[in-house]
Amino acid sequence: MLFSSVEFLCGFLPFTLMVYYLLPGRRLRNRFLLLASLFFYAWGEPLYVLLMLACIAGNYTFGLLAALFRRQDVKWLEKLGPWPARLNIVLMLAFNLGLLGVYKYAGFVVSNLNQSFGLQLEDPGLVLPIGISFFTFQGMSYVLDVFRGQAQARRNVLDVGLYVAFFPQLIAGPIVRYNTIAKEIDGRRENWRDFAAGVDLFIIGLGKKVLLANNFALIAEKIFDGATYDNPLEMAVAAAWIAAVAYTLQIYFDFSGYSDMALGLGRMFGFHFLPNFNYPYVARSVTDFWRRWHMSLSSWFRDYVYIPLGGNRLGLPRQIVNLFAVWLLTGLWHGANWTFVVWGLYYFCFLAVEKICREKLPKLAGLLGKIPLLGNLVTMLVVIIGWVIFRSADLSQAVQHIGLMFGVYGNPLTDEIFTFQMLENRVQLAVACVACLPLLPLLKRGLHRLHVVLGRGWVGVPLGVLRDCCLLLMLLLALAALAKGSYNPFIYFNF
Amino acid sequence: MDKTNADKQKLLEKYPALQAWLGQRGQKRRPQPRRWFLPAAFLLVIFAMCVNTYGINIVEFYNEIGKVADGAEEKELTWYEASEALVEHWTDKTVEEMAFKDLLVELHGLEMRLLDRHFVRDADYSYSIVKDNHDWLQFITFEAQPREIVRRIEILQDLDIPILYVQPPTKHIEGYTEFPVTLNDHSDENVAANFALLDEAGVPYLDLRQAAEEDGLDKERMFYRTDHHWRVETALWAVGRTVQEIEELFGWQLDPDGDFCDPANWRKTDYGQNFLGSQGRRVGPYYAGLDDFTLLTPLFDTKFQTELKQHTGELKVFYGDFVTTIIDKTLLTEPSVYTNRYGAYWGADYPTLLADNLNNSRGKTVLLIKDSYGLPYGAFLATMVDKLYMVDLRYYNIENLSDYVESVKPDLILIMYC
């Protein structure tokens, strides 16, 4: 079930909110949320909900064992040393990564083995369970946090179930770290202010997804999927760019919109998830971009892969090796296709170069950093080309599209298709460009100053009413687009 | 001192003039009021949608579960296949029954109009709306196989009854209609493919696209702007051209004096700005505008007995003049512009129907194999023949067609199923 679907907005959400707030007591509310979350998942994956339940049960058991092996007061455990705890972690990783491997990568591995060695292995033909990358990563986060002593193991499997399966973050993240919400599972206090903030976030996310991302999806799909040109090499440079830019905007508004909705829903039920995006397209370097994009995934890899491998502590060459490992995994996490592997390694190259520059050529890096907008433009160029690799069906399409963007095939500079798409989407493009900039925080800061000087009644109340009216209009327009049955794809479902 | 007060103090220290101007007001601190409007409006909207989508249609949704359960049992589906089927049905039903849908579609249409969009995508791509260079709404016609009735024309040829295939004009008019550059229409290619098969089979056809060009029909008035159908007036002209063609091909004079096909012998009742067609209903009147609808009814004396076979198998019989037997007035008096005025001829598409013209018992018997284009066309043609049978192949199994034809024994088979 998508958040941006009629059955969610008109059925699941109001029903869940109503029952949740009618139920007395934390325990009952948590049990209901778990039940609702399982129903939410089963709606899209009636069979794979069993797989998710297995994932919950497995990680619950590994969590208990991790807690047991940390106990100092059991003598026979002391005698065994650290090996049982480590073995438990190895088994937990094998379990979670095994699930991922079988369902996400088996087909990829088989087809590559067949191609490389001329084998005739049968493709298992497994359908990718929705959100498997997210719930397995959350499961691992839980056990690792317990193993490291950063959190207590849950005695009740239903609590672990709620953490892993909680519907706002279940199928498309953010990847919520266990220690972020461990206390809130039992001790959260729902209140109207949080609820109101949640509504704001949810509507903004819905608007980003339905009003912007879905629209850019149409442009990108039309050009990338070859429906527009009989011969793709006839595509004009400008048309190739508009497709790349449209996808760049689609993936941002799609994923950040979904994350905003998840954060908003969490707030409505009293949970505070960490933000997943921080205006990534204003980044001044690739490193900065990855501090702002899909922050929950970046920090997961940083804390559970990069730092355990040695992080920055073992010298530059080792850092580069660690970085390589992280970005190979990041690429693979996004999908079982060579385009994702290359995309991950593409970022590894830029991040490694930036790291080396910072360490070995600090003056040059400082100098370049002082040129206004240079960093932003170069970063955006890197990011847009990265998304072309990410979006392409295979590497040859990626290379071809990048070639078309730079006119290497002697393709024309512009054509009617570019002109039409620009004219047809001019308003959305303008709105999207503005929405990529951190204007809201700037405006908020400015307003805060005005509040301070003039008092809230002079500025805050009218602007508050204006903001609420705009958000309400956004909600109605999003519902209107859904009523029309508009195109409503979702990218991060597949990861 | 909290952060707000500290900031305030800093600013006031920085700008003493401001402090003087503000006097004591700057010192006042009001508690931040609790926000009610948006959260309350949000809850109101989603709960109103919930009640009006599911609450008032609860029986229908319950029946949907029953239907899926029966289907699952019949097809011997596993539990998860049945669950998937239920989700699919439920989702479709939800979108179908969504509360305030017309209002929301109108709002979406208004937004699309303000954004000056020429393409409004639908979840089902084939129902996406294109605004062409004349501001007509259009569906995109995709490349398609020739119609089954054309591919299997020998079913009818074997019966040894004269056949005439009638190709109505397409709303995408070659040389007149232009789509946005990213979109292509394949109407003409599809028609050409049909004609190629008919040529091969030796079946004559009447190309009304060409006839319209020859007769200099006003292209602006051939179709409704918001509907995929031709205007009723165009259908009357098409009947005239068909009658001429029949005379040329078979020597039968269905309208010897040209009276029946003369527009002067038909009463025009205008319903100005009163019709939002099938394409307009997908985007609402703010995007599409409204169409004028003109009802044509004969000024001459008519007497019919009509038998309309319902989808349920039930037979409805009417007796009387043209208006009593053929026109469904409820579709004209209903005030909503969303009402399908075009369907006023016969009231709906039926699997089969018979119009027995009691004023022309020595005339010909014609079988019209038709789709919705045939509604006004059939109604006008019925005035010139003894018996008009109409079969709609969307609701009638083609396998049973030859038996049906043999049972009604027509003098001529007209095919207008495009």
Neighbours of B173 (CB within 10 A): 19
The stretch B296-307 carries a mean pLDDT of 96
Q: Which of A165, A188, A211 is the last residue of a domain?
A: A188
Query: Is residue B50 located within the same domain as residue B173?
Result: no
Spatial distance between the Cα atoms of B18 and B10, rounded to a whole number of angstroms: 12
A chain contacts of residue B283, beta-carbon cutoff 8 Å: 484
Query: Is residue A362 located within the same domain as residue A386?
Result: yes
A chain contacts of residue B100, beta-carbon cutoff 8 Å: 483
Least confidently predicted of A144-153, B23-32, B78-87, B291-300: B23-32
Q: What is the 3-state secondary structure (H, E, C) of chain A?
A: CCCCCHHHHHHHHHHHHHHHHHCCCHHHHHHHHHHHHHHHHHHHCCCCHHHHHHHHHHHHHHHHHHHHHHCCCCHHHHHHCCHHHHHHHHHHHHHHHHHHHHHHHHHHHHHHHHHHHCCCCCCCCCCCCCCHHHHHHHHHHHHHHHHCCCCCCCCCHHHHHHHHHCHHHHCCCCCCCHHHHHHHHHHCCCCHHHHHHHHHHHHHHHHHHHHHHHHHHHHHHHHHCCCCCCCHHHCCHHHHHHHHHHHHHHHHHHHHHHHHHHHHHHHHCCCCCCCCCCCHHHCCCHHHHHHHCCHHHHHHHHHHHHCCCCCCCCCHHHHHHHHHHHHHHHHHHHCCCHHHHHHHHHHHHHHHHHHHHHHHCHHHHHHHHHCCCHHHHHHHHHHHHHHHHHHCCCHHHHHHHHHHHCCCCCCCCCCHHHHHHHHHCHHHHHHHHHHCCCHHHHHHHHHHHHHHHHCHHHHHHHHHHHHHHHHHHHHHHHHHHHHCCCCCCCCHHHC
At A187 the pLDDT is 85
Query: Is residue B68 located within the same domain as residue B186?
Result: no
Residue B165: inside a domain, yes or no?
A: yes
Distance from CA of B113 to the nearest CA of A (A): 11
A chain contacts of residue B39, beta-carbon cutoff 8 Å: 192, 195-196, 199
How big is chain A by its Cα radius of gyration, in Å?
A: 24
Query: Is residue A114 located within the same domain as residue A248?
Result: no
Spatial distance between the Cα atoms of B164 and B152, rounded to a whole number of angstroms: 15
Spatial distance between the Cα atoms of A128 and A493, rounded to a whole number of angstroms: 10
Q: Do B18 and A485 touch (CB under 8 A)?
A: no
At A458 the pLDDT is 62
A14 CB within 8 Å of a chain B CB = yes
Neighbours of B221 (CB within 10 A): 12
Q: In which domain, by residue range, is A252 found?
A: 195-435
Domain count, chain A: 2
Contact status, residue A456 vs residue B32, Cβ threshold 8 Å = yes
Burial of A130 (0-12, 13-18, 19+ CB in 10 A): buried
Its sign, for the CA torsion A477, A480, A481, A482, is positive
Query: Is residue B67 located within the same domain as residue B191?
Result: no
Spatial distance between the Cα atoms of A378 and B106, rounded to a whole number of angstroms: 43
Tokens of A60: 């619950």
Query: Is residue B334 located within the same domain as residue B362?
Result: yes
A chain contacts of residue B117, beta-carbon cutoff 8 Å: 424
> In which band, very low, low, confident or very high, does the pLDDT at B1 lie, cut at 50, 70 and 90?
very low
Spatial distance between the Cα atoms of B236 and B262, rounded to a whole number of angstroms: 9
Better pLDDT: B238 or A44: B238
The stretch A440-445 carries a mean pLDDT of 80
Query: Is residue A329 located within the same domain as residue A418?
Result: yes
Neighbours of A81 (CB within 10 A): 9
Better pLDDT: B24 or A434: A434
State yes or no: pLDDT of A339 exceeds 60. Answer: yes
Query: Is residue A352 located within the same domain as residue A425?
Result: yes
Query: Is residue A137 located within the same domain as residue A240?
Result: no
Query: Is residue A329 located within the same domain as residue A400?
Result: yes
Pairing of strands B304-309, B387-392: unpaired
State yes or no: pLDDT of B162 exceeds 90. Answer: yes
| HSE-up (13 A, CA, CB side) for residue B299 | 10
Residue B14: inside a domain, yes or no?
A: no
- Sort residue B27 into left (φ over 0), alpha (ψ -120 to 50) or beta: alpha
pLDDT > 90 in chain B, percent: 67
Domain count, chain B: 2
Spatial distance between the Cα atoms of B17 and A491, rounded to a whole number of angstroms: 55
Residue B256: inside a domain, yes or no?
A: yes
Neighbours of B65 (CB within 10 A): 12
Spatial distance between the Cα atoms of A357 and A344, rounded to a whole number of angstroms: 20
- One-letter amino acid for residue B382 of the chain: A
Neighbours of B209 (CB within 10 A): 16
Q: In which domain, by residue range, is B86 found?
A: 37-99
Residue B20: inside a domain, yes or no?
A: no
Q: Which of B73, B99, B125 is the last residue of a domain?
A: B99
Distance from CA of B137 to the nearest CA of A (A): 16
The stretch A404-409 carries a mean pLDDT of 93
Question: For A239, which residue in chain B has the nearest alpha carbon?
Answer: B182
Query: Is residue A349 located within the same domain as residue A273?
Result: yes
Of B8, B30, B111, the CB nearest to A452: B8
Residue A493: inside a domain, yes or no?
A: no
H/E stretch holding B25 reads none
* Coil, strand or helix at B78: coil
Spatial distance between the Cα atoms of B346 and B331, rounded to a whole number of angstroms: 10
Nearest to A273 by CA among A205, A187, A180: A180
The dihedral over CA atoms of A42, A46, A48, A50, expressed in degrees to the nearest 10, equals: 80
CB pairs under 8 A between A and B: 159
| C-alpha distances in Å from residue A435, one per residue of A279, A281, B217, B335 | 9, 10, 50, 43
Best-predicted range by mean pLDDT (A211-225, A327-341, A411-425, B364-378)? B364-378
Nearest to B181 by CA among A419, A427, A426: A419
Residue A495: inside a domain, yes or no?
A: no
Query: Is residue B67 located within the same domain as residue B176?
Result: no
Question: For A488, which residue in chain B has the nearest alpha carbon?
Answer: B123
B chain contacts of residue A488, beta-carbon cutoff 8 Å: 123
Q: Which of B45, B67, B99 is the last residue of a domain?
A: B99
Better pLDDT: A59 or A451: A59
At A231 the pLDDT is 82
B301 CB within 8 Å of a chain A CB = no
Query: Is residue B130 located within the same domain as residue B179?
Result: yes
B48 CB within 8 Å of a chain A CB = no
Best B98, B122, B127 member to test A by mutation, with max A CBs in 10 Å, is B98
Residue A472: inside a domain, yes or no?
A: no
Better pLDDT: B300 or B69: B300
The stretch A442-465 carries a mean pLDDT of 73
Query: Is residue B277 located within the same domain as residue B351?
Result: yes
At B8 the pLDDT is 65
Average pLDDT for chain B: 89
Angle of helix A214-224 relative to helix A426-435, nearest 10 degrees, comes to 120
Q: Give the tens place of pLDDT for each residue, A204-240.
A: 999 999 999 999 998 898 888 876 777 888 889 999 9
Q: Do B35 and A196 touch (CB under 8 A)?
A: yes
Tokens of A8: 């969610």
Of B8, B39, B46, the CB nearest to A9: B46
Q: Do B8 and A468 touch (CB under 8 A)?
A: no
Spatial distance between the Cα atoms of B302 and B310, rounded to a whole number of angstroms: 24
Query: Is residue B68 located within the same domain as residue B44?
Result: yes
The stretch A450-476 carries a mean pLDDT of 79
Longest CA span, chain A: 78
The stretch A422-427 carries a mean pLDDT of 90
A225 CB within 8 Å of a chain B CB = no
B chain contacts of residue A13, beta-carbon cutoff 8 Å: 46
Query: Is residue B186 located within the same domain as residue B80?
Result: no
Tokens of B240: 């005239």
Spatial distance between the Cα atoms of B401 and B394, rounded to a whole number of angstroms: 12
Spatial distance between the Cα atoms of A261 and A2, rounded to a whole number of angstroms: 11
At A213 the pLDDT is 94
Residue A455: inside a domain, yes or no?
A: no
Query: Is residue B280 located within the same domain as residue B191?
Result: yes
Q: How far is CA A317 from the centre of its chain?
A: 30
Spatial distance between the Cα atoms of A20 and A42, rounded to a whole number of angstroms: 19
How big is chain B by its Cα radius of gyration, in Å?
A: 29
Q: Give the tens place of pLDDT for each residue, B250-262.
A: 999 999 988 999 9
Of A46, A477, A483, the CB nearest to B80: A46
Query: Is residue A98 located within the same domain as residue A24?
Result: yes
Catalytic residue among A272, A294, A334, A451: A334
State yes or no: pLDDT of A92 exceeds 60. Answer: yes
Residue B16: inside a domain, yes or no?
A: no
State yes or no: pLDDT of B26 exceeds 50. Answer: no
B117 CB within 8 Å of a chain A CB = yes
Q: Tokens 């925080």, residue?
A: A441
Q: Do A200 and B107 touch (CB under 8 A)?
A: no
Tokens of A389: 């690799």
Distance from CA of B179 to the nearest CA of A (A): 11
Q: Do A44 and B87 touch (CB under 8 A)?
A: yes
Query: Is residue A167 located within the same domain as residue A279?
Result: no
Residue A482: inside a domain, yes or no?
A: no
State yes or no: pLDDT of A81 exceeds 70. Answer: yes
Its sign, for the CA torsion B208, B211, B217, B219, is positive
Q: Which of B50, B66, B99 is the last residue of a domain?
A: B99
B12 CB within 8 Å of a chain A CB = yes
Q: A401 catalytic, yes or no? A: no
Query: Is residue A339 located within the same domain as residue A260?
Result: yes
At B343 the pLDDT is 94
Residue B182: inside a domain, yes or no?
A: yes
Best B121, B179, B184 member to test A by mutation, with max A CBs in 10 Å, is B121
Residue B13: inside a domain, yes or no?
A: no
Contact status, residue B177 vs residue B138, Cβ threshold 8 Å = yes
Query: Is residue A287 located within the same domain as residue A240?
Result: yes
Query: Is residue B95 located within the same domain as residue B119?
Result: no
Of B26, B42, B98, the CB nearest to A6: B98
State yes or no: pLDDT of A284 exceeds 60. Answer: yes
Q: Give the tens place of pLDDT for each residue, A94-151.
A: 999 999 888 888 888 898 888 888 888 888 778 888 888 889 999 999 999 999 888 8
Spatial distance between the Cα atoms of B29 and A455, rounded to a whole number of angstroms: 7
pTM: 0.85
Best B111, B140, B143 member to test A by mutation, with max A CBs in 10 Å, is B111
Q: Do A427 and B115 touch (CB under 8 A)?
A: yes
- One-letter amino acid for residue A6 of the chain: V
Residue B62: inside a domain, yes or no?
A: yes
Query: Is residue A167 located within the same domain as residue A200?
Result: no
Average pLDDT for chain A: 88
Contact status, residue A223 vs residue A399, Cβ threshold 8 Å = no
Residues 303-322 of B with CB under 8 A from A: none
Query: Is residue B135 located within the same domain as residue B83?
Result: no
ipTM: 0.87
A119 CB within 8 Å of a chain B CB = no
Q: Do A11 and B181 touch (CB under 8 A)?
A: no
Q: Which residues pair with B370 in a beta bridge?
A: B392, B416
Tokens of B158: 């074997």
Nearest to A85 by CA among A99, A98, A71: A71
Residues 58-87 of B with CB under 8 A from A: 79-80, 83-84, 87
Tell me the backbone φ, ψ of residue B36, rounded to 5 degrees: -115, -40
Angle A37-A41-A47 from CA coordinates, rounded to 5°: 135
At A459 the pLDDT is 64
Spatial distance between the Cα atoms of A33 and A166, rounded to a whole number of angstroms: 7
